[in-house]
Every structure is written in structure tokens, then in C-alpha cells.
Amino acid sequence: MSANLMGSLAELASLKQLNKEQLAEIIKDGLYQAISKKLLLESELIIVADFDTNRVCARFNRIVVERDMSLGEISLEEAKDFDPDIELGDKIPAEMSISDFEPKVIRNARKAILERIKALEEDRIMFDYENQKNQIISGKVTKDDYNGYVVDISYADALLPKEEQIEDEFFKVGDIVKAYVVNIRKRKNDVIVILSRTRPEFVKRIFETEIPEMNSGDIVVKKIVREPGMRTKVAVQSNEKSIDATAACLGEKGIRIESIRNELNGELVDIVLWDESPEQLIANAIGPDLVEKVYLAERGRFARIIVSETNKNLAIGKKGKNVKLAAKLTDFKLDIYTEEEFEEKISEERRITSHVSDLDGVTSKVAEVLKEHGYTSVQDIYEASIEELTNLEGLGKKTAAKIKESSKYF
């Protein structure tokens, strides 16, 4: 391996951003693998690679034999020229320039060295790419195919898969797209960066870019839930009493939130003030101006929300998205009622869980008749007509009308 080749490898190492120490070890390993096959174990092969002098050589011991048959041996006659007292089985140190080895050995070594350099470069590139994960990057759309958009991000190709695209959002070749790096996939000859515009983390990174108080830690994002392309809810909390988290996220005259919405192609973005009280958090998630009262179930994560008739559609949201996202944000199953609907719901549940014998006018005899015909709860009576009840054998019209009326006000 000549000095020129050493210089070429050094230049290659610099181009691939590898240091000379790494390259020296790669050269030593590659040469060792190629040359050691020609030697015996006791030859104690050592490879020297010095970039300062551009010197590469192999040092090893040659075993004194009667007649040498391999590189690691030397005949007794030839060995006597170095040491007249030498005997069979002794060792003589030898040093050979790599260029003195047969071409096949050099070719094998060069191949091993280049493979190691390539592998090391791929590892470095993967390390660099891994540092890009969970970050937002921008690039130019170069292709639109069945897999998604191919995006040039200057140092590699990236892919914005169809499943990571916002519905009804389209780009054309040449458009600049901003996206979140979710993964790095190593392929046969290169790597590809996988992007997303649908992940909640994408929204979080945009918030951090637009809102300085988040970078400083004065405001933290507690949770994000999203229906990409339609609506996102971002729960925030201020760590500084002097900072209003909601106002900071909105910005003066709403300029910050408007910039975020533009990046999300006009998607609705709700700022939800985090609260440790489940009732207050639920109200904030639905919309504090819309909610009149929140009732939590005694067991389980269920809540009923009372709103006015005027605000009910707003509380539910288009296609039910507002209440669905609020449920995800709070981890509660949410049901929305007007005051009248809530009272009716409570009455219905009371009727369902109450026995017919609890109704005024229902004697034990009447209860037995009702039971025989499948009427066991107050709700059964409430849903039945007077005609149905009158037709029951053993139940008069007057009794039927009385228990029917009683069930309405139970």
C-alpha cells in the first residue's frame, strides 16, 4: 500500500468526516485480516500505519525451518546470513512494506478497509440522523407517489407517508413543507427520514417555536389531543404566577395562535388551561364559557356536563369533535345535557332502578300481576300506555291510570 494510497485514504476519511485515528485502526484491521492468513499464529503479526510519514508496513516473526514454504518461514541457510548461531525453530524479526506483498493480498486488504470505512460512515450518518428525531425540519417536495411525498431536506431524502399527512392537505412538487421527524429507516444503500404532520408532537414543536415562554419553561404543555385537519386541544400550565398561559399562547391580538393555525392549514386550535380539579379541567376542555355545571360519577371516570340549549351544539362540536377531544384530554367519558335533559335522565335512571312496588297505588297483589306480565320497574310502567296496562288481567282501568300517573312524577 503506497504512500499515495495512504494519502488518498486520508483524504477519503476527511471527506467522510472520519478522524485519522479511526482510519489508522481500520487500515490495521484490514491489513491484519488479509496478511495473517499467510502467516502462522506464532508469527506475531503487527501492522504499523503512520499518517505522519505515510508509512505502512507489516512486522512479524519468521520461523527458521530447513526449507521455507510460506511467508512466515525462512530457511536455515538464509537465516544464517543474519545470525550465524541461529538454529531451527528460532525466530527472526521481519518487516515488509505493504507494497511488497502480492497484489491479491493488497486487493483483499483494500476491500476490507473500504467496507469498514463505509460501515463507519453509515453509523455516523445514522447517529447524525438520530439527532434529528423528534425535531421539526423543512424541505422541498420533489416527488408525489403512491407512498407519499418525497421531500429533499438537503442532506437526505425524506418521506411524508400518506398515513402521516393531514386529510385534504395537498402539496405540489417545489412546495416547501414543514414536518416532524418520527423515524429514521436504514435501507440497503442509504437511509430515509420518515416525517409526519399529524402527530401531536408536531403541534408541540410548533408551539415551542412560536411561544418563547415554552422554551424558557415558564409555560409547559401538559397534554395534546388532536383530530388532524379538524381540531386540536392543547392543555397548558404556567409555572410563573405572573404569566397567563392562555394569553401567552394566543399572543397579542391572537397573532401567535394564528401563526400556528396557518402552519396547520387552518386547523382549529383550542388552548385549554390545565387544572388539577377534574371538574374544572373538564369545563376548560369543553369551553369554560359554555359549561354551567359538571357532575362526576361516584365511581369510574364518567362525567355529565350541563350546558344551555343555546350552547349545546357548540359544546358537542362539529361531528362531535369538541366533546370527543375533551374526553381524550381529560380521560373521562363525557355526556352533555341541557338542564331539562339532565333532570329527565336522572328521573329515568331512578325509574329504571326502582321496583313497581315503590309506586303509589301498587299493592302487593297489583305488583304480582304486573310482575307476571313482565313489568318489574317503574320505567316499565312509564313506557307503557294506559291501554296496555288496562288489558292486563287483574288490573282495572282506574288502577292502571293511577299507577301510570304516579310513574310520571316518580
User: Looking at domain 201-343, which CATH architecture does it have?
Assistant: 2-Layer Sandwich (3.30)
Looking at the chain, the domain(s) classified CATH 3.30.300.20 span: 201-343
Q: Residue 166 carries which DSSP code?
A: P
| Angstrom distances, CA of residue 181 to CA of 72, 136, 140, 190, 197 | 55, 6, 15, 17, 9
CB 132 within 8 A of CB 195: no
CB 52 within 8 A of CB 41: no
Instruction: Print pLDDT tens along the chain (410 aa).
Output: 445 556 666 676 666 666 777 777 888 888 888 888 888 778 888 888 877 777 788 899 988 888 888 888 888 888 888 888 888 989 989 888 877 777 887 788 778 878 887 777 777 777 777 778 889 999 999 999 888 999 998 777 899 999 999 988 899 999 999 999 998 887 776 778 899 999 999 999 999 999 999 988 999 999 999 999 999 999 999 999 899 999 999 999 999 999 999 999 899 999 999 999 999 999 999 999 999 999 998 888 999 999 999 999 999 999 999 999 999 999 999 999 999 999 888 888 888 888 888 888 788 888 888 888 888 888 888 888 888 888 888 788 888 888 888 888 77
- The fold of 344-408 is DNA polymerase; domain 1 (1.10.150)
Residue 255 neighbours by CB under 8 Å, 6+ apart: none
| Angstrom distances, CA of residue 52 to CA of 20, 49, 398 | 10, 9, 115
List the CATH code of the domain at 3-129.
3.30.1480
Strands 302-307, 333-337: pairing is parallel
Q: Is 237 exposed, middle or buried (0-12, 13-18, 19+ CB in 10 A)?
A: middle
In this structure, what C-alpha cell is assigned to residue 144?
408525489
Residue 199 neighbours by CB under 8 Å, 6+ apart: 164, 180, 182, 226
Looking at the chain, the domain(s) classified CATH 3.30.1480 span: 3-129
Q: Is the pTM of this model over 0.75?
A: no
Q: 185-216 burial, b for 16+ CB within 10 Å, e for fewer?
A: eeeeeebbbbbbbbbbbbbbbbbeebbebbee
List the CATH code of the domain at 132-197.
2.40.50.140
Q: Which amino acid is at 240?
A: E
Strands 91-97, 73-75: pairing is unpaired
Looking at the chain, the domain(s) classified CATH 2.40.50.140 span: 132-197
